Amino acid sequence: MTPGQRCCERVYSSSYPGHTCGNPAKMEHEGKPYCGIHDPVKRAAREAASKAKWDALWKAKTERWAEEKKLEERRTACELACQGVETHDLAPGILLRYMRGI
Ligand SMILES: [Zn+2]
């Protein structure tokens, strides 16, 4: 890398064609100069960390939804049992019809 080189990354902010980043280059990747922000290796690591974070959040959400659905089914089964609905009618598939009001 030669001194004074600038980052070659194309930045798309408010203008359509975008512009070259132009920050002082700190490293070279596959023969091209990049600044610290656009360093492809660091960037890939940041993106992987971000994806892992969102994947964990999504997993927690889907688990919570599944748990809430189970609780809702149990609540509905209890209410229906109190209304005298037969136990065999409270099986999950049949219970779902009651929950949907069919
Ligand atoms: Zn840059």
Per-residue pLDDT tens digits for 6-44: 999 999 887 778 899 999 999 999 999 999 999 999 999
Tell me how far the alpha carbon of residue 22 lies from the centroid of ligand 1, in angstroms: 6
Tell me how far the alpha carbon of residue 51 lies from the centroid of ligand 1, in angstroms: 22
pLDDT digits (tens, 9 = 90+) for 59-68: 999 999 999 9
Q: Which of 46, 41, 43, 37 is nearest to 6 (CA)?
A: 37
* pTM, two decimal places: 0.61
- At 102, is the pLDDT very low, low, confident or very high (cuts 50, 70, 90)? low
Tell me how far the alpha carbon of residue 37 lies from the centroid of ligand 1, in angstroms: 6
Phi-psi region of 4 (alpha: psi -120 to 50; beta: other; left: phi over 0): left
Mean pLDDT of 47-51: 98
pLDDT digits (tens, 9 = 90+) for 73-97: 888 888 888 888 787 777 776 777 7
- Enumerate residues with CB within 5 Å of ligand 1 (an ion): 7, 9, 21, 23, 35, 38
- For residue 44, the model assigns a pLDDT of 96
Tell me how far the alpha carbon of residue 34 lies from the centroid of ligand 1, in angstroms: 5
CA–CA distance, 98 with 23 (Å, rounded to integer): 63
Whether the CB-CB separation of 6 and 20 falls below 8 Å is answered with: yes
Tell me how far the alpha carbon of residue 46 lies from the centroid of ligand 1, in angstroms: 15
